[in-house]
Amino acid sequence: MTVIVTESLSKRFPRVTALDRLTVDIAPGVTGLVGANGAGKSTLIKILLGLAPATEGTARVLGLDVAKDGSAIRERVGYMPEHDCLPPDVSATEFVVHMARMSGLPPTAARERTADTLRHVGLYEERYRPIGGYSTGMKQRVKLAQALVHDPQLVLLDEPTNGLDPAGRDEMLGLIRRVHTDFGISVLVTSHLLGELERTCDHVVVIDGGKLLRSSSTDEFTQVTASLAVEVTDTDAHPDGAEALRRALTGAGVAVTTGSAGSDGLATPGHLLFIDAADEETYDLVRDTVAGLGLGLVRMEQRRHRIAEVFRDADEAHTDPAAGPVTSATGPTPLAPAGAPGAAAPYATQDGGAHDAV
């Protein structure tokens, strides 16, 4: 069963190709859509809502053809836009009731659904205040409420955590998960914060330059590897603790590579090592070596792949022709040439660190 299916979907403008033969299936659940500015995310959403025609190819949403059944799709789908589009001089209740009526609910049902939805997104106590006096986080919740008020089968959320502080992002991500777990509504959410998608989504679709780069479950992106991530502190005797540990372990025949804040998102640059853990004895060797050097052990854990590595691998394919194209779930996907639309754009981790991405 799928909620969204595209087949060789393309959208071309006079000077730009926004989508290039995109073929992807999206199943029920919470799916993350990743792509740099210009990658084709907004264009794809407009086509899925039946608001823009495709140049070629087909797409179906909830079994409905986007080219013929746009109105029926919008009756069954909720949409939360990225930009600020709320009227400042009306209350959240007035606005969400209006959107419910626009979706076809009768007056009484629209008011009841509005009260329930605003309670769900945490705005029940503030529902009569003019939206113009709301914080950014409250406005994002209003946009989420209007997307949910007509009880859709699917919601499309475009950068729902934009402008939110870390606490606000966590609350919004919790709401997004509950949309699916509590109400059974499938979610397609776009984000530049890769850590959000790792924590929130069941499946991730990566597009670049309008092409599919990869589509797979979050577990496949973040699978446990056979290496250890080890972070240590410096000491007076060893001003560069990670380097001292690397030399000692290499001398003992253990394969070690140096990590960075960019490759981990948490560690101080230069203080992270990735160690080939061939067996349980490696754990003991690392522990004893750290203790013997008098270093502080911040953490030692099995390393997981991160979604950001997809973009790093793609960058390496750009710079190293021998590396070949990145392989997606549907086969090899040629990458855009350097300097082309969508190439070499930054992606952020949850803590704001940048990762280069094609």
Per-residue pLDDT of the chain (358 residues; tens, 9 = 90+): 799 999 999 999 998 899 999 999 999 999 999 877 777 888 999 999 999 999 999 999 999 999 999 999 999 999 999 888 899 999 999 999 999 999 999 999 999 999 999 999 999 999 999 999 999 999 999 999 999 999 999 999 998 988 888 888 889 999 999 999 999 999 999 887 667 777 889 999 988 888 898 888 887 766 545 577 888 888 999 999 889 998 998 998 888 887 654 444 444 445 788 887 667 788 889 889 999 999 988 888 766 555 555 555 555 554 554 444 444 333 333 333 333 333 333 334 433 333 333 2
Q: Are residues 191 and 134 in the same domain?
A: yes
Q: Identify whether residues 146 and 199 lie together within a single domain.
A: yes
Q: What is the pLDDT of residues 217-234, one digit of tens each?
A: 887 766 545 577 888 888
- Same domain, yes or no, for 63 and 167? yes
In this structure, the answer to whether residues 115 and 63 fall within a common structural domain is yes
| Same domain flag for 9 and 146 | yes
* Residues 216, 228 share a domain: no
In a domain, 250, yes or no: yes
Per-residue CA distances from 14 to 17, 24, 208, 224, 260 (Å): 8, 25, 19, 45, 42
Please report, for the domain that includes residue 229, its CATH number: 3.30.70
**Domain identity same for 211 and 258:** no
Structural tokens at position 342? 């969508």
Instruction: Note whether 95 and 236 are same-domain residues.
Output: no
* 118: helix, strand or coil: helix
Same structural domain, 54 and 149: yes
Residues 251 and 208 in one domain: no
Provide the 10 A C-beta neighbour count for residue 320.
9
Which pLDDT score, from 0 to 100, does residue 47 have?
A: 95
The domain boundary residue, chosen from 220, 235, 251: 220
Phi, psi for residue 273 in degrees, rounded to 5: -120, 145
Cβ atoms 10, 35 nearer than 8 A: no
Q: What is the extent of the structural domain holding 131? A: 4-220
Tokens of 175: 């709401």
**CA atoms within 13 Å, Cβ hemisphere of 327:** 2
Q: Which residue from 234, 228, 322, 240 is spatially nearest to 279, judged by alpha carbons?
A: 228
Q: What is the strand order of the sheet 17-26 is part of? A: 17-26, 4-12, 56-61, 64-65
What is the count of structural domains for the chain?
Answer: 2
CATH of the domain at 160: 3.40.50.300
Identify whether 229 is part of a domain.
Answer: yes
Predicted local confidence at residue 118, as pLDDT? 96
- Which residue among 162, 192, 220 closes a domain? 220
CA dist 172 and 178 (Å) reads 10
Can you give the pLDDT at residue 34? 85
- Model pLDDT, residue 336: 34
For the chain, list the strands marked E by DSSP.
4-12, 17-26, 30-34, 56-61, 64-65, 77-80, 154-158, 186-190, 203-208, 211-217, 224-232, 256-258, 272-276, 297-304, 326-328, 331-333, 345-348, 354-357
Return the pLDDT at 166: 83
Report the pLDDT value the prediction gives residue 81, as an integer from 0 to 100. 92
Same domain, 103 and 237: no
> Domain boundary at 304, 326, 350, which?
304
Q: What does the pLDDT read at residue 93?
A: 97
- The answer to whether residue 204 sits within a structural domain is yes
Predicted TM-score (pTM) of this structure: 0.68
186-190 and 154-158 strand pairing = parallel
**211 and 274 co-located in one domain:** no
Whether 121 is covered by a domain: the verdict is yes
Rounded Cα gap, residues 335 and 342, in angstroms: 10
**What pLDDT sits at residue 259?**
63
CB atoms within 10 A of CB 285: 18
Query: What's the CA gap between 348 and 222, in Å, rounded?
Result: 17
List the structure tokens of 29. 């659940």
Residue 272 located in a structural domain = yes
What local confidence, expressed as pLDDT, does residue 145 receive? 96
Does 25 map to a domain? yes
66 in any annotated domain: yes
